[in-house]
Amino acid sequence: MRLVIALGGNALLRRGEAMTAENQRENVRVACEQIAKVAPGIELVIAHGNGPQVGLLALQGNAYDAANPYPLDVLGAETEGMIGYMIEQELGNLLPFEVPFATLLTQVEVDSADPAFKNPTKPIGPVYTKEEAERLAAEKGWSIAPDGDKFRRVVASPRPQRIFEIRPIKWLLEKGSVVICAGGGGIPTMYDGNQLRGVEAVIDKDLCSALLAEQLNADLLVIATDVDAAYIDWGKPTQQSIAEAHPDEIEKLGFAAGSMGPKVQAACEFARNTGSTAVIGSLENIEAIVQGRSGTRISLNYNGIAYR
């Protein structure tokens, strides 16, 4: 079995939680405890989000006035190394010593004509009150958008077109390695003539993970986040969790673009393009998700929508 697990950036640094290395490592440890239960006997690829992390690095960079801040593609590369290191160490402490690990810096091509560059939607960094967000937007020229009852900085999120390192990822899997790659949706790049260069953007982790899982012929894509399923009427007395759904039916429900929307879109695209199953669920429930006992399962094999 070949399994791709996409860990959400907000699951690794929870909403409203202090953005410390200690908190991130603790959340990584929780994820790895779950992943270790399903890892034996499977080919495992782990992707992860980086929205809170890359936003924090950007804030730290802005505090240094002697040079221009590093661009988002470079910060994305930094977070791939940082988060990959923690996952390797925490999961390596749980699996047999003989299991090899590899964290791979992953460049992902985007289209310069992607309309996302004119309409920033991807939230990064911490949450702010409306007053704080408006002040920072005025000071730094940011775009901001609501995120629940708070606000966050938003940046362009172009669609992933091509994963440049897909061949070495396959080679590592064939040698039995656990591969950590496409962190934060990969490092956004585009061609300028025949020269590849970085782009000031953040690719959506879930859409990139779906493309990764498709190109790896994965049997299952798990999109792990900070809620246990996709819900209708979220936060209302009428809320219901979705147990399983056909892609055509769940897409009709219209999930928020800044939160559950990309996860549902990614799961639907993977299910349609491969005929396999994608599941959206909680980081703490990864074992139950893989066993089919938790999360929202999306597949062409389902009719309509079933609720829990």
**Residues recognised as catalytic:** 9-10, 122, 205, 263
Q: CA 255, CA 305: separation in Å to the nearest integer?
A: 15
Q: CA 139, CA 39: separation in Å to the nearest integer?
A: 47
Closest C-alpha among 125, 127, 120, 79 to residue 103:
79
Spell out the SS3 assignment of 92-104.
HCCCCCCCCEEEC
The residues facing 179 across adjacent strands are 45, 102
DSSP for 17-55 reads S---HHHHHHHHHHHHHHHHHH-TTSEEEEEE--HHHHH
Q: Are strands 178-180 and 150-155 parallel, antiparallel or unpaired?
A: unpaired
Q: CA 82, CA 296: separation in Å to the nearest integer?
A: 30
